[in-house]
Copies of this chain bind each other. A is one copy, B any other.
C-alpha cells in the first residue's frame, strides 16, 4: 500500500507549519486554525490526518524518536572504547537535514511529546548496556556513570544542534576531559 502523494505533501506542510509556529508561540497558544493557515490546508483536511494538534505533535516526536533509536542502536554496536563521543558526532551528521526540526522539538516538553527526554532515555539505555559487563568491578555505581555519560553526550548533542559544530576548541577540550573521566571510572585498567 503506497501512500497517495497528496497525503505526503499535506502532512509535510502541516508538520512544517507546526514547527514554524512553535518558534513563535507555545503549544497551547497554537490553534488548529493557525496550523491550517500556515500550512495552506483546510481544517477538514487536518482532521482527516490527525485527531488534534497534540496528536500531530506526538506523531512528529515519535518519528524522530524512532529514527534516533535505530541509529543509536546500530552505532553503539560498532562502538569501540574511547570513541563514544564520535557516536554523537556521527548521529548529528546523519540527522543533518532534520536538525532544525529536532532543535525546535527539543524545546517542547509535553506529557507524551518530549523528544529531548526520549533521546536522553535511549542514550541512557545504551550506556547501561555498555557498562553492564564492568558493573561488578566498578568503584562507582554503574547507573551513576551511565547517567554521567548520557548527560555529557546530551550536552554535546544540544550544543552542536545549536551551534552547528564542536569547532570551538575550548568546548571540545572541556567535553573531552569529562569524557575521559567518565571512561576512567568504567575501565580503570585500560588507559
Contact = CB atoms under 8 A, between A and B. Distances in A.
A85 interface: no
Interface stretch (A5-13, A111-119, A132-140): A5-13
A40 interface: yes
A9 B5 contact: no
A29 to B, nearest CB: 24
Q: Tell me whether chain A's interface is mostly helix, strand or loop, or mixed.
A: helix
Q: What is the oligomeric copy number? A: 2
Nearest to A5: B40
A2 to B, nearest CB: 13
Nearest to A10: B9
A42 B13 CA distance: 18
Interface string A32-45: 00000000111000
Contacts of A41: 5
Nearest to A41: B5
Interface in A96-153: none
Contacts of A13: 9
Contacts of A42: 5
Nearest to A40: B5
A97 to B, nearest CB: 14
A41 to B, nearest CB: 8
Interface in A18-56: 40-42
A9 B42 CA distance: 13
Nearest to A13: B9
Nearest to A12: B40
Interface of A: 5, 8-9, 13, 40-42
